[in-house]
Structure 1
Amino acid sequence: MEKIDNIKNEINYYLNKEENVKEEWIEENHPIDIAEALSELDASEINDFTKLLETEDLADIFEESEKDLQIDILKCKSSEEIIEIFSHMAADDITDILGLLPIQKRKELLRHMKQDDALVVKNLLGYDRESAGGIMTTEYLLLSKNLTTTEALNKIKKIAPDTEIIDTIFVADSNKKLVGSVDLRDILSSDDEKKLEELMDDNIIKVSADVDQEIVAQQVAKYDLTVIPVINKSGILIGIITVDDIIDVIEAENTEDLYKMHGVDEEESSDTTLLQSIKSRMPWMFINLATAFLATFTVAMFEDVIAQVAALAAAMPIVAGMGGNAGTQTLSIVIRGIALGEIDFKDNWTLLFKEAMVGVINGAATGLVTGLILYLMYGNYYLGLIIFLAMILNLLVAGMFGFLIPLFLQSLGIDPALASAIFLTTVTDVFGFFVFLGLARGFIVYLI
């Protein structure tokens, strides 16, 4: 934070002096840090400071800014100024930004752009934002397999300034179909007359444009890639996805899953208004309330037992709480496994058995400690035995349902992260209370 505070002070210095920002200062500070410092200023200060920057420097900062800051900057710029900023940015980044704007503003900006650039952006806007096509860039190196290394290097020198990466060169056949890739290092270290066809790796990992971005991230992680090509139905290269975009996807997907598991809209943040937060969270609160009544009804079935043994009221939340915690542990592992493509409904019954055994063993261990404590507190051996058995059974159920619920929801086409936790908590609460109080009723003569 000290670094950001220093940058804020330096920004205020330029604002007070009303002088253009020195290039040396830009070079000393990373665009991400400048963007973070700017995000803490008010809209008028952001507007004034952007006027002191060279357009190319502003574009670098703009690309690294969060969505809210980007919108603040766009609001204070004319269409001509925005187009000038866009001229220093990659087409995929421009597409992401245009996707944030109202349709009329988007159309206006596209009209002001060069025809070729506008066509590329329009094509990218046609893809789902969370698909491979939606996150790809069209700035890549594609060369013919018949080129020699000397010819390839001459091409690379001409094209490289307009591409996102140059260390991986993609190779096409005479029909422009993607057939392989070659590293720049291999081209530089090979004989001048050697053809790319001889150097290329034809076992290339690729995805189609309509593939979900989460699957793309899985492929990149699985094969340890820095870039993955995107092809159309004819096998022709139409774009590439670089590892920096994949990192953004992983962060976004993890954030989305985390929010969903707790009944929060993924669009909500610390800056969300009071009414928006209430609107986002209240439906899930009522769903939680409905499931909580199931647990209440279960307890109500055993009111006569609780009335006779007051200690049960103090002990029964332990069983439900421990079941919920154990189930959540399994749930986290399974949802992560589903996200990474490691777990499906058919082939992981050994994992179900493992989670059941983990539940039994953990239930026995924690139940033994809990039973001993309750025995020391109330001096009743049978109370300790009841909670020992209840803990084993509830943690067994928690492990099994923590595994089965997300897989079952996935098979129905429902996002496992969205509703798993609610169903799991209901199961562990209802079953925990039922088995504990049910055992207490069976042993009631030994508890009174």
Structure 2
Amino acid sequence: METETVETKENVALALRALSVTIENRDGPAALEIIKTLDWEDQRRAMSRLSYPDSETLIQILGSEDAAKLLSHLAEAQAVDIIESLSSENAAEILNELPTEESTNILRELSDEDAEEIIAAVSDAEDRAEMQRIWDYDDGVAGSLMRGGPVTFLQKSTVGEVITDLGEHAEDYSDRDVQYLYVLDDDGVLTGVLRLRDLVLSPRHIRVQDLMIPDPITVIDTMPLEELSDVFEKKKYFGLPVVDLAGKLLGVVPRDAVEHETAEEQAGMFLQASGIVNGEELRSMPLRERCIKRLSWLAPNIVLNIAAASIIAANEATLQEVIALAVFLPIVSDMSGCSGNQAVAVSIRELTLGILRPGDYWRVIIKEGTVGIINGIVLGLILGSIATLWKGNVFLGLVVFTALSLNTILSVLLGGLVPLFLKRMKVDPALASGPILTTCTDMCGFLLVLGIASSMLEKLAGV
């Protein structure tokens, strides 16, 4: 395994040196031959190490078809950055070589203005209309994830007619995932699905409507991602037909597309919760852009942390009298923060699934309050006992127990409620909940520990 890693690094390094020469000479064929020597993972690594100008030049000298193949192997964020650097006409030529679902995924990451310009620049009217149709859907709904071009036949067709058509148009069907045939009535409404096995093993004179599975499970084109995930979790299908409100077949949404979109959404939420604004960053991005993205989240945290530190400054005398409190201050705030983050995660998940609405405050208070009381008492008893045994002072243990118990209850309530409030205010809960919760739990933890300790200084003397 280690040998493979070394060889991979050497392959990428050699390819980069060779690519730099071909890019400088604007030798597209030579660049293509170098790229073909790399697997798709190494292609991603190589492209991430090229400068932005070199990446743009490479795409231009490859030509639209080969450039599209390269983009299809890159991470979506890499492809988006490259497309953004191209002219609308050049970008349209490249995206038109990709499957519609891939090109529209890239377009969704661009500004509306840039995306519309690129779609308008697509030369083929039919391709342009298909791209526009998919792009018009909201991100993540069934219509945006469906794969077009399902193989369809009218229900009045015979088995012989269908088999003949499949044979005569085999080349057209070769790039489609033909596991089921979709049966329509004269108005284009989906009436059933037909398994290939049933088709091949049936007499040629039988009509399709007599063989099909009637009233198949379908999804509406506007069904959101959360509901799609639930459907595929309950039904172990490889794909489901997508219809409009009139029942007309529009395409097929495959399981892997839903799983990929769900994973992308979860990854974006994790990045946002970690302080990566806009939920996306690669180290190949320009330094200035990366710094601004991070600082826009980090800078406000300075103010929030100063506010928390001011609590310690205001109780400096108490801290000097009872030095042991300095050990437990970060433990109380950190443990409470962890409890609060658990509540944040559950609220964001339930909001995403549609289980929770921004106005369901009392449900969260009751459910999280119960968990907070139980966990707060348990954690408080553990840490309070440790404090008592360490210093031999039961009152120090009482201070720690009370502070951690109360702060845990407060943190889980805040963690559960803050995402609801932010959602109602049209602010992304995944991005803003963390800093708010951390600051509040720190301030309250410090205030509780130092405030309770101040009220019983005499009992804590010498600790």
1:284/1:101 Cα in 2 relative to 1: closer, same or farther (>3 Å)? closer
How far has the Cα of 1:260 moved from its partner?
Answer: 2.0
Post-superposition CA distance 1:344-372 (Å, at most 9, x none): 56889888666545544444444344334
1:418/1:42 Cα in 2 relative to 1: closer, same or farther (>3 Å)? closer
Instruction: Tell me which residue corresponds to 2:380.
Output: 367
Instruction: Tell me which residue corresponds to 1:249.
Output: 261
Q: Would the aligned equivalents of 2:59 and 2:67 in 1 still touch at CA under 8 Å?
A: yes
Instruction: Tell me which residue corresponds to 1:259.
Output: 271
Instruction: Tell me which residue corresponds to 1:173.
Output: 185
Q: Would the aligned equivalents of 1:327 and 1:399 in 2 still touch at CA under 8 Å?
A: yes
Equivalent residue for 1:432, pick from 433, 445, 453: 445
Aligned residue type for 1:65: L
Post-superposition CA distance 1:3-42 (Å, at most 9, x none): 7447547857987999968x99999975455454454456
Aligned partners of 1:352, 1:439: CA distance in 2, in Å?
25
How far has the Cα of 1:382 moved from its partner?
Answer: 0.7
1:277 aligns with 2:290: yes
Equivalent residue for 1:392, pick from 390, 395, 405: 405
Q: Would the aligned equivalents of 1:387 and 1:436 in 2 still touch at CA under 8 Å?
A: yes
Aligned partners of 1:77, 1:293: CA distance in 2, in Å?
46
How far has the Cα of 1:322 moved from its partner?
Answer: 0.9
Q: Would the aligned equivalents of 2:319 and 2:325 in 1 still touch at CA under 8 Å?
A: yes
Equivalent residue for 2:98, pick from 89, 95, 98: 89
Aligned residue type for 1:151: E
Q: Would the aligned equivalents of 1:356 and 1:396 in 2 still touch at CA under 8 Å?
A: yes
1:142 aligns with 2:146: no
1:120 aligns with 2:130: yes
Equivalent residue for 2:241, pick from 207, 213, 229: 229
How far has the Cα of 1:70 moved from its partner?
Answer: 6.8
Q: In terms of mean alpha carbon deviation, does 254-263 or 429-438 score higher? A: 429-438
Post-superposition CA distance 1:224-244 (Å, at most 9, x none): 443243333433222333333
1:197/1:95 Cα in 2 relative to 1: closer, same or farther (>3 Å)? farther
Q: Would the aligned equivalents of 2:142 and 2:219 in 1 still touch at CA under 8 Å?
A: no
Post-superposition CA distance 1:282-327 (Å, at most 9, x none): 3433543444355345445645543543333432222111100121
1:76/1:404 Cα in 2 relative to 1: closer, same or farther (>3 Å)? closer
Q: Would the aligned equivalents of 2:146 and 2:252 in 1 still touch at CA under 8 Å?
A: yes
1:25/1:289 Cα in 2 relative to 1: closer, same or farther (>3 Å)? closer
Post-superposition CA distance 1:211-270 (Å, at most 9, x none): 544554454445444324333343322233333332331232112211221332123332
Aligned partners of 1:439, 1:142: CA distance in 2, in Å?
74
Alignment partner of 2:267: what SS?
helix
Q: In terms of mean alpha carbon deviation, does 292-301 or 400-409 score higher? A: 292-301
Aligned partners of 1:260, 1:185: CA distance in 2, in Å?
47
Q: Would the aligned equivalents of 2:359 and 2:420 in 1 still touch at CA under 8 Å?
A: no
Question: What does 1:23-422 align with in structure 2 at a 5 Å threshold?
Answer: 31=40, 33-41=42-50, 59-66=68-75, 67-69=77-79, 72=82, 83=93, 88-97=97-106, 100=110, 107=117, 111=121, 113-157=123-167, 158=169, 161=173, 164-190=176-202, 192=204, 193=206, 195-196=208-209, 198-209=211-222, 211-213=223-225, 215-265=227-277, 266-296=279-309, 298-299=311-312, 302-343=315-356, 355-422=368-435
Alignment partner of 2:397: what SS?
helix
RMSD (Å), alpha carbons: 4.4
Q: Would the aligned equivalents of 1:62 and 1:70 in 2 still touch at CA under 8 Å?
A: no
Q: Would the aligned equivalents of 2:384 and 2:397 in 1 still touch at CA under 8 Å?
A: yes
How far has the Cα of 1:113 moved from its partner?
Answer: 2.5
Q: Would the aligned equivalents of 2:218 and 2:242 in 1 still touch at CA under 8 Å?
A: no
Alignment partner of 2:280: what SS?
coil
Alignment partner of 1:123: what SS?
helix
Aligned partners of 1:87, 1:127: CA distance in 2, in Å?
18
1:315/1:29 Cα in 2 relative to 1: closer, same or farther (>3 Å)? closer
1:233/1:38 Cα in 2 relative to 1: closer, same or farther (>3 Å)? same
Percent identity, aligned pairs only, is 26
1:5/1:140 Cα in 2 relative to 1: closer, same or farther (>3 Å)? farther
Q: Would the aligned equivalents of 1:95 and 1:124 in 2 still touch at CA under 8 Å?
A: yes
Q: Would the aligned equivalents of 1:232 and 1:238 in 2 still touch at CA under 8 Å?
A: yes
Aligned residue type for 2:248: I
Alignment partner of 2:241: what SS?
strand
* TM-score (ref. length: structure 1): 0.78
Aligned residue pairs, count = 446
Q: In terms of mean alpha carbon deviation, does 289-298 or 97-106 score higher? A: 97-106
Q: Would the aligned equivalents of 2:220 and 2:245 in 1 still touch at CA under 8 Å?
A: no
Aligned residue type for 2:156: N
Q: Would the aligned equivalents of 1:170 and 1:181 in 2 still touch at CA under 8 Å?
A: yes
Q: Would the aligned equivalents of 2:141 and 2:221 in 1 still touch at CA under 8 Å?
A: no
Aligned residue type for 1:245: A
Aligned residue type for 2:137: Y
How far has the Cα of 1:129 moved from its partner?
Answer: 4.5
1:318/1:13 Cα in 2 relative to 1: closer, same or farther (>3 Å)? closer
Segments of 5+ residues of structure 1 without an aligned counterpart are: none
Q: Would the aligned equivalents of 2:226 and 2:354 in 1 still touch at CA under 8 Å?
A: no
Segments of 5+ residues of structure 2 without an aligned counterpart are: none
Q: Would the aligned equivalents of 2:194 and 2:211 in 1 still touch at CA under 8 Å?
A: no
Aligned partners of 1:61, 1:268: CA distance in 2, in Å?
20
How far has the Cα of 1:168 moved from its partner?
Answer: 3.4
